[in-house]
Amino acid sequence: MNTAALDIATLREAYDAGDLTPADALTGIAREIENRDGELGSYLSHDLELALEEARDVDLSLPLGGVPIAIKDLISARGQPCGCASQILTGKYIAPYDATVVRRLREAGAIPFGRTNMDEFAMGSSTENSGIRPCRNPHDPDRIPGGSSGGSAAAVAADLAVAALGTDTGGSIRQPASHCGIVGLKPTYGRVSRYGLVAFASSLDQAGPMTKSVADAARLLQVIAGPCQFDSTCLDEPVPDYVAALEDGIDGMTIGLPREYFADGLDSRVRERVEAAIEKLEGQGAKTVEITLPHLDYAVATYYIIATAEASANLARFDGVRYGLREEAGDLISHYEKTRAAGFGDEVKRRIILGTYVLSSGYYDAYYLRAQKVRTLIRDDFRKAFETVDVIASPVCPTPAFRIGEKSSDPLEMYLADIYTISANLAGICGISVPCGTVEEGGKTLPTGLQLIGKDLGEPDILRAAYAVEQG
C-alpha cells in the first residue's frame, strides 16, 4: 500500500487500529520516492535507515506519534544534511542541531523524514532556482510546482509524503500549495520559532505546515507553534487549540474582499473559482464586505528592497571558512569571492547584489529606509481593514501554475506574480491557501487556491474559514 497516500489523521487511525507500524509507513514512503520521485524531483535526499532507527523508540501515544514529516531543505534536523538546495552547502553540511520546529515535532512523536527541494536559499517562486535538480508540478510535469517550498508541496500533492514543513517569506508556502492543490499556512510572524531555519529575510521568514487537509494543518501548527528561548523574535504567547477551533463554524464571520486583489491581471478562471469559494463561505453564514488595501501596487517593490537587504546580510556567513564549499585563493578577499561565485546560483547572486546596493552608503535612505516606511503604510492598511472584518479573502496567485522556463528569463515578471501573497509577510500577519477548484489548460487540470488572511495571531479564524471552504 502507498502509506504516503495517507494524511496525518488517517495514518494515526491506522496506527491506533494496529494496521500499520511507523516502520511500515516509512518503508512505504521510501518505496514511492524510489519509484516516482526521479521524475518529479520533490526530494533532495531521504535517509530511511536513520528514520527507521528513530521509529523504533517512538511513542505512539503522542499527538503526532510515528508520523513522518518531510522537511524543507533549509530547516535543520540534527544528523541530516541541510543544503538549502545550494551548491555552497549540499553534500558539505550536516546539521549539528535541531531547529526548534524539528525538536517540537520529535517531542510530539513525529519523525522528520526526507529533505525537500526548494528554490536555492528560498529565493524564488517556482523551484526553478534549485541549485540541485528541477521539481515538477504533479498535475502537469511541464509546469512549475511553485516556490520556494515547491518540493514540499509537490511531495504532499503527489502522495510522496504524508505532510511537510515549508517556509514562507513572500508566499513560499501559500503559492506552491495553491499550484499543487494542497493546504499551506503561513503563521503570524513570531508564532513559530525561526531558530534552526537558515535565514533568508529575518523579519519576514516563517515556517509552517503544508498538508492534505485543513485539519492536518491545524494539527501540525499546534505542535510547531509556541515560545522559544533561542529566537528573540518568537512571541511569548500561549497557543490556542487550533484543532478544536475548526468546528466553531463561520456563522457571523465578516470577510473582507479587497478590491485591488480582484482587478486587472487576475485570470478570469481563477477569479471564478475564488468567487465560488467565497459564495460557499456566505452559504455557511459569513458575510462579505468590500474593503480597500490601497498600497498593493507597492508591495512587490517594498519586499524586494527589504528581503534582499536582509538576505545580503544573512548570506554573508557563506564564506568558505567554517562550513560548506571552500575555494582556496591567494588572499582572503579572493577566497571569499571565489567561494561565493562558485557556490551561489544566479538568483541568489542577483538578490545579494541588489540587497547590498540598497543598503550601501548614499542609497540607504532612498531605498531601504523608504521601503521600511512603505512597509508601515502596508501594515496600516491591514490594521484598518481588520477593524471591520475578521478575515480577508483573495486569490493566492493571479494565474494557475505557469510552464517551466516561461518566466525564468525575466526576474521582474516572476517577482510580480507574488503580488497577492507578499503583503502578509510585510505586515507580519497570517495567511492560508486552501484548494478551491481547478482550471483546465492544455489538457491538464490545474489546481487553484483561495487565500484567507488573518490578523496577528488570527490563525484560529483563517483555519475555521479554510475548513468551511474545504468541507462545504
Q: Which residues are catalytic?
A: 72, 148, 172
Pick from 252, 370, 397: nearest CA to 309: 370
Residue that is written with C-alpha cell 483563517 in the block: 462
Closer residue to another protein (CB): 130 or 312: 312
C-alpha span between 206 and 188 (Å, rounded): 8
Instruction: Report the DSSP pairing between strands 391-395 and 444-454.
Output: antiparallel
Closer residue to another protein (CB): 97 or 262: 97
C-alpha cell at 425: 509577510
Closer residue to another protein (CB): 456 or 461: 456
Contact 119, 132 (CB under 8 A): no
Pick from 200, 252, 188: nearest CA to 468: 252
Amino acid residing at 343: G
Least Å distance, CB 393 to another protein, is 22
Least Å distance, CB 313 to another protein, is 10
End-to-end CA distance of the chain: 30
Closer residue to another protein (CB): 282 or 346: 346
DSSP run (H or E) holding 289: strand 287-291
Least Å distance, CB 344 to another protein, is 7
C-alpha span between 90 and 44 (Å, rounded): 9
Closer residue to another protein (CB): 334 or 445: 334
Least Å distance, CB 373 to another protein, is 4
Closer residue to another protein (CB): 35 or 233: 233
Q: Residue 225: beta bridge partners?
A: 192
Least Å distance, CB 232 to another protein, is 4
Closer residue to another protein (CB): 138 or 324: 324
DSSP run (H or E) holding 304: helix 299-314
* Three-state SS annotation for 94-110: ECCCCCHHHHHHHHCCC
Closer residue to another protein (CB): 37 or 120: 120
Least Å distance, CB 298 to another protein, is 6
* Degrees to nearest 5, angle at CA 169 with 168 and 170: 100
Closer residue to another protein (CB): 261 or 318: 318
Pick from 379, 303, 311, 338: nearest CA to 119: 311
Contact 288, 282 (CB under 8 A): yes
**How far apart, in Å, are the Cα atoms of 251 and each of 246, 275, 281, 288?**
12, 18, 9, 12
**How far apart, in Å, are the Cα atoms of 452 and each of 188, 438, 464?**
13, 18, 10
φ/ψ of 288, rounded to 5, equals -110, 150
C-alpha cell at 398: 493571479
Q: Which residues contact 48 (CB under 8 A, 6 or more apart)?
A: 26, 27, 30, 113
Least Å distance, CB 78 to another protein, is 8
Q: Residue 288: beta bridge partners?
A: 255
User: Could you tell me the sign of the dihedral formed by the alpha carbons of 133, 136, 138, 140, in that order?
Assistant: negative
Least Å distance, CB 396 to another protein, is 20
Least Å distance, CB 388 to another protein, is 22
CB-side exposure of 450: number of CA atoms within 13 Å? 29
Contact 72, 166 (CB under 8 A): yes
